[in-house]
Homo-oligomer: A and B are copies of this chain.
């Protein structure tokens, strides 16, 4: 995956900031170009050019076009775990998860009430439509799910390594989010995402009773 290790407690020096900017620039460039001309008509070289870096540099950040494209989604998905950690401990777990997910979705929200930002949506649609990118999206989801599991373990005082519980909840929540998202993207007269997400998570918490 990433070669340039961004050690955690790194203070935001010019160096780190620039690295992050390059990473994001490469990622958006990859998405933009892939949407414009189709993934197969985009060479790594093009992406690098678009981001004003040397071709070889692309591979210092990502090990494939797919990874670059999924990076934006990954960063976004990670925020869910981060947000969950911020929720007060008094909140019931499922409630906290629901809020964390919805909050994260609302992040880049624009004019259109309740609709996540356009660019991210474009990226997700791209990943869903191009078969060769589906694997990358799944990988991103898996990574985000791991972080979510860690956050859940922390919050519930369970152990990610020993207990099934945190990973089970994270996995189920991840599945719910994926399904809701998918439904949302397919919806032909467009519908708001939030209700879908909430419905999916509520059903999970209810033990998935037959409808």
Contact = CB atoms under 8 A, between A and B. Distances in A.
Interface of A: 1, 93, 131, 134-136, 138-139, 142, 156, 158, 161, 163-165, 167-169, 171-172, 174-176, 178-180, 182-183, 186, 196, 199-200, 203-208, 210-211
B205 A208 contact: yes
Contacts of A204: 168, 172, 204, 207-208
A175 B183 CA distance: 19
Contact of A175 (B161, B175, B206): B175
Oligomeric state, in copies: 2
A153 B203 CA distance: 16
30 contacts: A134-B142, A135-B136, A135-B138, A135-B139, A138-B139, A156-B210, A156-B211, A161-B186, A164-B183, A164-B199, A164-B200, A165-B203, A165-B208, A165-B211, A167-B179, A168-B176, A168-B179, A168-B200, A168-B204, A168-B208, A171-B174, A171-B175, A171-B178, A171-B179, A172-B172, A172-B176, A172-B208, A174-B175, A204-B207, A205-B207
Contacts of A208: 165, 168-169, 172, 204-205, 207
